[in-house]
Structure 1
Amino acid sequence: MILHIDMDAFYASIEERDRPGLRDKPMVVGGNPHKRGVVAAANYAARSYGIHSAMPTAQAKHLCPHLVVLPPRHGYYAQVAQHIRDIFHRYTPLVEPLSLDEAFLDVTHSHRLFGEPVDIGRRIKREIRAELQLTASVGVAPNKFLAKTASEAGKPDGFLVLDAAGAQAFLDPLPVSKLWGVGKAGNRHLQKLGIHTFSDLRTAPCAPLDELFGSWGRQLQELARGRDDRPVVPDHKAKSISHETTFAEDITDVVALRGWLLDLTRQVAARLRRNQLRGRTVHVKIRFSNFRTITRSYTLAQSTDVTQELWNAGLPLLMRNLPLHTRGVRLLGFSVSGFAADGPRQADLFSEPATIKQTRLDTVSDWIHARFGPASLARAAELMHATE
């Protein structure tokens, strides 16, 4: 059995916890509304105004003039996320993070020590609340897709169990907009085909789906049938480590996309270092508003876990593949593969001093993030992005 655990409005909830005066006030974590900033997270009071992540902060302020905008504290959020992961690992070593605020857990073999999966899910939820004063939504199901669907259906502060026998009856009436990976544009395309619910999708003919989505259409149809055979893969066993984000609204602003890629790169690099991994091949995934999806890769001369080196490889992949007049980007992903098993890095006569400097910077940053939280460091580029 699989658990999907998703923190509720993670960044915003941390800020509310630390600043009780903000509770019940519309608030977002994001960039400066006067400098093309973007919303990273919105609390539930702000969401009632139609505000969501990836929305330009200026637009959010227009929807809610009295909106409170706080700059991100990425290092602090990473520290809290590490505490949450530590709670997960009390119950199973099979933990697959999707981002800082959500993960899959395979608890199939944990019942002898900790009880049934439902009991484990409730214990984790209680421990997160007791130790961090934060709420999580939990889905319990036979596979990853059903577990994620269950956790989302229960938000916020939810707990939902789906078993194999009742899963299809639960899925069939759901609108296709609830399908993992289908945003507003995908929903519009499906509506034009007369596909409104999961039931419509799972019984639809394949040809129009293939024409519209390519091979992804078949994957969506399998998910609508509740089928998902992907295993939970911990970082230390994975062939690649990745983060990706699907935007609620398509993004055309190149500065905003650079900022999102920087955040994804930083998260992947931290996971590499945490698992003592180094990779050679950097991948950037872009899905445009017309559902065309491309993945571009670059292989470095030697493996690395250095944030700056990964960023230097990933940014050109993004910039070279954004059309001059982009239709908009609906999904952005960053991953690293080709993990090293070749011992220490080989020295390079010219670049080694810079590499040593960056490695020391990453090491110190990781330590300060884990040890001090609110006083954590950030790179100048991150600070610039936080104020944009």
Structure 2
Amino acid sequence: MSNEIKVPTFPESVQEGTIATWHKQPGEAFSRDEVIVDIETDKVVQEVPAPADGVLKEILKQEGDIVTSNEIIATFSEGGAGAAPAGNSEPATATNSAEASEIIAAPAAKKLADEKGINLSDVTGTGKGGRITKEDVANYKVSAPVEVKAAVAAPVKIASVPEPMAPITGERIEKRVPMTRLRTRIAERLLDATQNTAMLTTFNEVNMGPIMELRKQYKDRFEKVHNGTRLGFMGFFVKSAVEALRRIPAVNASIDGNDIVYHGYQDIGVAVSTQKGLVVPVLRNVEHMSIAEIENGVRDFGLRGRDGKIGIDEMLGGTFTITNGGVFGSLLSTPILNPPQAAILGMHKIQDRPMAVDGEVKILPMMYLALSYDHRIIDGKEAVQFLVAIKDMIEDPARILLEL
């Protein structure tokens, strides 16, 4: 009996996806819930599990093909019927050479190798069972040196002749890698934000000493009381942002056509860096969350983002975004808006700097804060007041508890 493997139902905001990697080939058996294929969308790479035990019969959509929701991409025989017998050296697909059985490559990889004139036997496969993927071919470096012949220029009668450029020697390797669907979508959104908003950035700086002292004093007890949850800085900044958003609703608003939509709740996106690009999962109703719950949520996003496990629905919506370039050593930056949101807060590295305090110079752990905002709905006064509110609460953490 033949069964179908279909593309999962995409959310409304996702129109289509691209077949990224087939983990099984025709004739190979699999177990229920085993990942059969990866589908890359504008937001995440979605894994498609096997609906039941069986053997893959036919692949209808190859790697690189565009697919839509619920489209049939493969068929399989349920219950293991038709599996290749043990010890059978003949491949399930039609091949007639020993070389084909030794070199296992995805169809997209074979196609790209033919286009580039690359011998698949020279490429090391990183896929399951040594399978050569499209990425392996794209990343393959030609080891042969490039021959460069010095151009001979016709003699020119001039007063002074510059010394000829020394001939280029050695390898000059280039590689061309197509942008992934996720990276393409990120590029489109960033360009849209810079071209279709009146984006402006305002800066301030905050003394991190009080928060660092509070964290040092209570971090062990906090971790013990909250079942291993670590006390970081993000929880304080998110709680401060929630209070500042309440005071200045325009920063928590968005534009819809000719309307300004003011949100009576705070859904805060937290930028997470992954191997495939930057994603922004959203903490919902943060106004009702404790610092421990915020820290748990941020940590969970970080771990699942690293493994590519963040779902599409977790990245939809959001009324405000926080990004922390400081974890990579950034001292100062201008973050780009995440439309249709009207503002984004950028955190940076903590660095000791000499500061004037009560007429004396003191060395304090300082952090630059940056607020990029859409000047169409947020005035400069409101943007500055928002940053000052966060600065005041971070420098005096009791204000967070007392909502002062």
TM-score range, shorter chain: under 0.3
The one of the two structures with greater contact order (alpha-carbon pairs below 8 A, sep at least 6) is 1
Structure holding more helix per residue: 1
* TM-score (normalizing by structure 1): 0.23
* TM-score (normalizing by structure 2): 0.23
Task: Please tell me whether Structure 1 or Structure 2 has the larger radius of gyration of its CA atoms.
Answer: 2
